[in-house]
Amino acid sequence: MARALLKPDPDNASIEQLKQVSRIGSSETATRCTAIQMLLAGISRQMVRDALLVSNRALRKWINCFNQAGVDGLIVKKRPGRMSIITDQQAPELAQLIDQPEKAKREFWTAKAFHGYIGETYQIQCSYETGVRFFHKQGFALKTPQPWPDMQDEQLREAFVLELQKLFEQPDVDIWFADESGFEGDPRPRKRWDKKGRKTRVTKNGGHLRMNVIGMVCPRSGEFFAIEASHSDSATYQAFLDEADRQISFQRTTNILVMDNASWHKRKNTNWHGWQPMYLPPYSPDLNPIERIWLTMKARWFNNHVCKNEEKLIERLDHAILDVIDNPETIKQTTAIGTLF
């Protein structure tokens, strides 16, 4: 009998929080977080494995770790030596402490904070993993709150999804999704061993390497169009629309362009060239399927890759964009908006 397909629990962390951990962790931690980000965004396991060059066994292990311990379960940690175990006499008091963090003058616990607290306060020298297992044994699960739920309007989101579904069911309507995303060519330097007292430096070629990509995608047809730009503003967005009009031939009578509420998307004298603008509810990037395209591009082309200069960054972006354009069936799978309904 085939094993059930294991999926990451979306309640354990948001994509934005996984991104934050990727920025401060090791390269292996960043790869694990990127894999979970992609899966949470609806990208298939096969595409994740191909983009990150990881095995199905490793991916399944990371999902298990994430489901059991949230973001903490993805962080690569040094393995300590053999440690003492929490005793049966200590367990009830510690379980009560987890349930009532205010007793330790805390609002909530993370596994890392709890591990440090019991080591300092109770002199319990257990491993980090033992602390995590203790949480689960006592019936607790580490849940990371979403970063913006209070700012989302659920009624607006539900109304938007309903309207999107009605448009999607009309045979003479194509829905396009537009967005901007920044691509970095110089990842942050990682920690390394060096002599005490010696300044640790890495070669830096001028300023920070970053380039924006402005793109639009049609999930129904699998079409993707994008340009590179140094920044985003009204003039740049109009240039993007002008070039899109020259490159794209409409296949259907009505073409809707869905985007977020950035100020340059709402300029009154914008020439939409036949697209009808439609705006996402505030704080709802998860309702824009093009976000999955950005995730896939970054994982496949920029994961642990360093560009020596801006020219190399632009060259790699060109390859990444063409790679997306040349695979319309993959685009359809990645951006399928039926998953929103």
Domain boundaries, the chain: 15-74, 151-192+209-340
Q: Does the pLDDT value for residue 180 go beyond 50?
A: yes
Query: If DSSP codes are grouped into helix, strand and coil, which group holds residue 217?
Result: strand
Report which of residues 189 and 308 the model is more confident about. Answer: 308
pTM of the model: 0.65
Least confident stretch, 62-71, 171-180, 256-265, 273-282: 62-71
Given pLDDT bands bounded at 50, 70 and 90, which one contains residue 81? very low
Helix or strand (DSSP H, E) at 9:
none
Ranges 15-29, 72-86, 160-174, 324-338: which has the least confidence: 72-86
CATH architecture of 151-192+209-340: 2-Layer Sandwich (3.30)
Confidence of residue 1 (pLDDT cuts 50, 70, 90): very low
| Residue 106, pLDDT above cutoff 70 | yes
Alpha carbon separation from 169 to 160, 218, 221 (Å, rounded): 14, 14, 14
The per-residue pLDDT for range 239-248, each reduced to its tens digit, is: 999 999 999 9
Q: Which residue has the higher pLDDT, 24 or 287?
A: 287
Quick one: DSSP state of residue 145?
A: P
The per-residue DSSP string of 18-71 comes to: HHHHHHHS-HHHHHHHHHHHHHHTT--HHHHHHHHT--HHHHHHHHHHHHHHGG
In this predicted structure, the answer to whether residue 219 has a pLDDT above a threshold of 90 is yes
pLDDT at 190 (0 to 100): 45
DSSP state of 326: T
Does 317 have pLDDT greater than 80?
A: yes
**To the nearest whole number, what is the mean pLDDT of the chain?**
84
Q: Inter-axis angle of helices 290-301 and 310-325, to 10 degrees? A: 120
Residue 332 one-letter amino acid: K
- Specify the pLDDT at position 150: 54
Q: Can you give the pLDDT at residue 25?
A: 66
Q: Is the pLDDT of residue 188 over 70?
A: no
Exposure on the CB side of residue 284, measured as CA atoms within 13 A: 21
Tell me the residue length of the chain. Answer: 341
Instruction: Give the mean pLDDT of 82-100.
Output: 76
Per-residue pLDDT at 192: 42
> Cα separations (Å) of 88 from 93, 130, 138, 177, 314?
10, 14, 12, 56, 60
DSSP state of 309: S
Confirm if 258 and 188 have CB atoms less than 8 A apart: no
Q: Rounded to an integer, what distance in angstroms lies between the CA atom of residue 44 and that of residue 288?
A: 17
**What is the spatial distance between Cα 278 and Cα 263, in angstroms, rounded to a whole number?**
14
> How far are the Cα atoms of 15, 41, 289 from residue 285, in angstroms, in the given order?
10, 10, 8
